[in-house]
């Protein structure tokens, strides 16, 4: 049941048609894994916590650096040198103490990805393709939704992967792009907010998810473009996992 404090805190979203107290209780009972506490993770985590998603596990293996602060707004200058998950925990706890945030400082790898994921819906807020593909494999193995976001310069893209229904991340990305990725800080804010919205819609069962669709944001030209996605029949990941 929702407390009076929670009813007051979430009042402006509870009055959305189709949401109500029952929807807020669904959010309170929900669990989500956010992989990455950087630029995308800053927006995703902030808005999932503000919305009242009950339990959030956040995983990151880095410490806060000065060069992070143009986009990773969950951290501050006083956080430099701290593990990102602990800096995130402090900020998120201040935003909404009603939410249980579980910080895990770890590197996602072949040997631990399933343990880290558990049975939680997965938000991909990573900055490297190998880790993303490990999360993709875990999502397929556990039949969990994967909310994918990526950014490059002024551009961002987001899609929602539903195993056994849509294609997977390996259907989309084949090669590994190495090197430092240029990012305008506002772009992961835009994409992370869309990811958070997708998670909330999934939990509540409201609206249409970005399944089999990729939304591409072009910040330079202020446009959104939708691209239809198809499962790759030769994809080794989703075909092998779901066969």
The first and second tokens of residue 236, run together, are 């080794």
Q: How high is the pLDDT of residue 81?
A: 98
Under 8 Å between Cβ of 41 and 192: yes
pTM exceeds cut of 0.75: yes
Domain boundaries, the chain: 4-242
User: Which whole-number Å values give the CA distances from 106 to 31, 41, 83, 85, 157, in the listed order?
Assistant: 19, 15, 10, 9, 26
Q: How high is the pLDDT of residue 178?
A: 61
For 87-101, the DSSP string reads HHHHHHHHH-TTSEE
How far is residue 97's CA from residue 49's CA, in Å, rounded to a whole number?
Answer: 9
Under 8 Å between Cβ of 191 and 209: no
For 12-44, the DSSP string reads HHHTSTTTHHHHHHHHHH-EEEEE--SHHHHHH
Question: What percent of the chain is modeled with pLDDT above 90?
Answer: 89
* 179-188 pLDDT, tens digit each: 788 999 999 9
User: What superfamily would CATH give domain 4-242?
Assistant: NAD(P)-binding Rossmann-like Domain (3.40.50.720)
pLDDT, average across residues 81-94: 98
């Amino acid at each position: 049941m929702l407390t009076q404090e929670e009813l007051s805190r979430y009042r402006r979203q509870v009055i959305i048609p189709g949401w109500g107290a029952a929807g807020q209780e669904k959010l309170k009972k929900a669990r989500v894994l956010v992989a990455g506490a950087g630029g995308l993770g800053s927006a995703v985590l902030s808005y999932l916590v503000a919305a009242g998603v009950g339990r959030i596990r956040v995983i990151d293996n880095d410490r806060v650096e000065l060069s992070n602060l143009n986009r990773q707004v969950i951290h501050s200058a006083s956080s430099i040198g701290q593990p990102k998950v602990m800096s995130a925990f402090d900020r998120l706890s201040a935003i909404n103490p009603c939410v249980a945030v579980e910080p895990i400082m770890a590197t996602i790898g072949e040997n631990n990805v399933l343990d880290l994921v558990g049975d939680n819906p997965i938000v991909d807020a990573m900055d490297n393709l190998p880790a993303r593909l490990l999360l993709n494999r875990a999502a397929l193995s556990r039949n969990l939704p994967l909310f994918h976001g990526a950014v490059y310069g002024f551009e961002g893209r987001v899609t929602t992967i539903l195993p056994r229904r849509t294609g997977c991340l390996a259907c989309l990305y084949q090669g590994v792009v190495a090197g430092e990725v240029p990012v305008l800080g506002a772009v992961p804010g835009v994409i992370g907010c869309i990811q958070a919205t997708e998670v909330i819609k999934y939990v509540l069962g409201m609206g249409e998810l970005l399944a089999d669709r990729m939304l591409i944001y072009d910040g330079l030209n202020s446009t959104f473009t939708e691209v239809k996605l198809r499962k790759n029949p030769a994809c080794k990941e989703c075909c092998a996992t779901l066969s």
